[in-house]
Structure 1
Amino acid sequence: MSAENRRNVKWVEGLRGITSVLVITTHMARAWDFQLFWPSDSKEVAARIWQYPILRVPFQGRVGVPIFAFLTGFVCAYKPLKLAYQQSNQPAALQSVARSAFRRPPRLILPAVIATLISFLIACLGGYKTANRVDAFWVRFDAPEPVAGLGEEVRRLFHTTLSTWTNGENLYDRHQWAMRPLLIGAFQVYVVLAATIGMRFRYRIVVHLLLLSYWLLNTSVMTETFGANLALGTLLAELSLHRPTQNFLAARARVLTCVAAPMLLIVGLFLGGFPHEHEDWKPWSWWLHTTFVDPAGDRSRGSFLVPNGADPPRRFSSACVQLSAIAIFLSPALRDLLSHRILLWLGKHSFAVYLVHGTILRTVGVWIVWGITGEPWSPAEREEDQQWLPVISGDRKRVAVVVFVGLTYLAAWAWMKWVDTACARATMWLEQRVFDDDGDGREGLAEKGHGHGPNGHVVLKN
Structure 2
Amino acid sequence: MSARPSQRNIKWVEGLRGLTSVLVIVTHIARAFDYPLFFPADNEHAAPRLLQLPYLRIPWQGRIGVPIFAFLTGFVCAYKPLKLAYQQGNAPAALKSVARSAFRRPPRLVLPALIATFISFVLSVLGGYKTANRCDNYWVRFDAPDDIPFADNVRRLFASALTTWTNTENQYDRHQWAMRPLLIGAFQVYIVLAATIGMRFKYRMLVHVLLITYWLMNVNALTETFGAMLALGTLLAELAQHRPTQNYISSHQRLLTFVVVPIILLIGGFVGSYPAEHDDWAGWSRTLRRILVDPAGDQSRGSIVVPKGSDVLRRTSAFFIMCVSVSLFLAPVLQKLLSHPLLLWLGHHSFAVYLVHGTILRTVGIWIVYGITGEPWEPAGHNEDGSPRQQEWLQPRGGAHKLVAIVVFTALTYTAAWAWMKWVDTACARATQWLENKVFSDDDDDLAGAGADGKASLAEKGYGPMANGNGNGAAPRPYHDADRSQPPP
Does 2:391 align with 1:386? yes
Does 2:195 align with 1:195? yes
State the aligned residue count.
Answer: 459
- Asked if the contact 1:170/1:177 (under 8 Å) is kept, the reply is yes
Per-residue CA deviation, residues 389-423 of structure 1 (Å, 9 max, x unaligned), is 00011110011111111110010000000000000
Q: How does 1:45-64 map to 2 (within 5 A)?
A: 45-64=46-65
Name stretches of at least 5 consecutive residues in structure 2 with no aligned partner. 383-387, 465-473, 480-486
Distance 1:244 1:45, change over 3 A: same
Distance 1:395 1:243, change over 3 A: same
Q: How does 1:290-309 map to 2 (within 5 A)?
A: 290-309=290-309
Q: CA deviation at 1:449?
A: 4.5
Q: How does 1:286-325 map to 2 (within 5 A)?
A: 286-325=286-325
Q: CA deviation at 1:254?
A: 0.7
* Matching residue of 1:80: 81
Q: CA deviation at 1:459?
A: 7.5
Q: CA deviation at 1:437?
A: 1.4
Does 2:214 align with 1:214? yes
Q: CA deviation at 1:7?
A: 1.7
What is the distance in 2 between the residues matched to 1:97 and 1:181? Answer: 19
* Matching residue of 1:275: 275
Q: How does 1:234-245 map to 2 (within 5 A)?
A: 234-245=234-245
- Asked if the contact 2:5/2:243 (under 8 Å) is kept, the reply is no
* Matching residue of 1:122: 123
Does 2:433 align with 1:396? no
What is the distance in 2 between the residues matched to 1:322 and 1:454? Answer: 52
- Give, as a single letter, the amino acid of the residue that structure 2 aligns with 1:70: F
- State the SS of the aligned residue for 1:135: coil
- Give, as a single letter, the amino acid of the residue that structure 2 aligns with 1:156: R
- Give, as a single letter, the amino acid of the residue that structure 2 aligns with 1:122: L
- Asked if the contact 1:6/1:332 (under 8 Å) is kept, the reply is no
What is the distance in 2 between the residues matched to 1:45 and 1:384? Answer: 32
What is the distance in 2 between the residues matched to 1:292 and 1:453? Answer: 67
Q: How does 1:128-147 map to 2 (within 5 A)?
A: 128-147=129-148
- Give, as a single letter, the amino acid of the residue that structure 1 aligns with 2:18: G
What is the distance in 1 between the residues matched to 2:478 and 2:245? Answer: 44
- State the SS of the aligned residue for 2:352: helix
- Given candidates 410, 413, 417, the residue that maps to 1:412 is 417
- Give, as a single letter, the amino acid of the residue that structure 2 aligns with 1:59: W
What is the distance in 2 between the residues matched to 1:245 and 1:454? Answer: 45
* Matching residue of 1:359: 359
What is the distance in 2 between the residues matched to 1:225 and 1:339? Answer: 25
Per-residue CA deviation, residues 26-78 of structure 1 (Å, 9 max, x unaligned), is 00000000000000000100000000000000000000000000000000000
Q: CA deviation at 1:456?
A: 4.5
Distance 1:450 1:384, change over 3 A: farther
Per-residue CA deviation, residues 145-179 of structure 1 (Å, 9 max, x unaligned), is 1112x111111000000000000000000000000
Runs of 4+ in 1 over 6 A off after TM superposition: 457-460
- State the SS of the aligned residue for 1:439: helix
Q: CA deviation at 1:381?
A: 2.8
Asked which structure has the greater CA Rg, the reply is 2
* Matching residue of 1:94: 95
- Asked if the contact 2:163/2:169 (under 8 Å) is kept, the reply is yes
Q: CA deviation at 1:143?
A: 0.1
- Give, as a single letter, the amino acid of the residue that structure 1 aligns with 2:200: R
* Matching residue of 2:436: 431
* Matching residue of 2:25: 24
Q: CA deviation at 1:226?
A: 0.4
What is the distance in 2 between the residues matched to 1:237 and 1:384? Answer: 59
What is the distance in 1 between the residues matched to 2:62 and 2:294? Answer: 23
* Matching residue of 2:13: 12
Name stretches of at least 5 consecutive residues in structure 1 with no aligned partner. none
What is the distance in 1 between the residues matched to 2:294 and 2:191? Answer: 36
* Matching residue of 2:458: 445
- State the SS of the aligned residue for 1:279: coil
- Give, as a single letter, the amino acid of the residue that structure 2 aligns with 1:308: K
Per-residue CA deviation, residues 73-105 of structure 1 (Å, 9 max, x unaligned), is 000000000001111110000000000000000
What is the distance in 2 between the residues matched to 1:199 and 1:54? Answer: 41
* Matching residue of 1:156: 156
- State the SS of the aligned residue for 1:130: helix
TM-score by length of 2: 0.92
- Asked if the contact 2:6/2:241 (under 8 Å) is kept, the reply is no
What is the distance in 1 between the residues matched to 2:409 and 2:278? Answer: 29
- Asked if the contact 1:450/1:459 (under 8 Å) is kept, the reply is no
Q: CA deviation at 1:445?
A: 2.2
- Asked if the contact 1:453/1:459 (under 8 Å) is kept, the reply is no
The percentage of counterpart residues that share the same residue type is: 65
